[in-house]
Amino acid sequence: MSTLKEKNAALLAKLEETPNPGGRSIEMGAYLRDARGDKQITLYEHYLVEMESLSFERQAWMQSGWANRVRISSLLSVLNMKMMALLFQEKEAAEMLDAWGMEAYQLNQEKRPHYILDDYPTFLRAEKNPEALEKLLAKRKSRRKPFDNGPYHDERFPWDLCAYEERLLQGQLFQAEDKQISAEIEELLADLYLLQE
């Protein structure tokens, strides 16, 4: 198992070689999977790096040179990240993600029956709607998830690491002690920020 510092260096080298922001997002997903699997990052650190990954993915939707399609999985990622921002009490990030979610909803090119498309704006603002949170929680807990009806929101970060629906319904927000950042992740975030300029 490589150290987090070694993983960071390897990720940054791959990102330097990958001009496509969608490709960068994919590389970051692999990095996060490995770092989380090796228990080298916390939930909050994962959320922060996931935010940067989503930012790259968004660039790929918005910049005509890359023209990646917005899909249902994209909508689910933005929804989940917004709910995590609310749990971490990051109001500005939640507001930004709300705007990204509506933008992605309008750009979505995957038109088919799907529970999240039934009323995406309501789900995106579920923190104000306990009934919507209950629907998301019921879907998370459901044992019946036909493949053809997916993807499902619990198949995207934070997966089963955090049932944000339950926490929001119960008012169990994360506190300052849940938001510690290691020096390695702080340095990685600074490097990722520079790559996006």
pLDDT in tens, 120-157: 999 999 999 999 999 999 999 987 777 678 898 999 99
Confidence class for position 172, pLDDT limits 50, 70, 90? very high
What is the CA angle 65-85-20, rounded to 5? Answer: 15
Domain span at residue 104? Answer: 4-195
Q: What is the pLDDT of residue 90?
A: 98
* Residue 97 token pair: 């993600």
Taking the model in full, what pTM does it have? Answer: 0.94
- CB within 8 Å of 186: residues ≥ 6 apart: none
Q: How far apart are CA 76 and CA 56, in angstroms?
A: 16
User: Using 50, 70 and 90 to split pLDDT, how confident is the model at 52?
Assistant: very high
How many domains is the chain partitioned into structurally?
A: 1
- How many C-beta neighbours within 10 Å does residue 85 have? 22
pLDDT score recorded for residue 169: 97
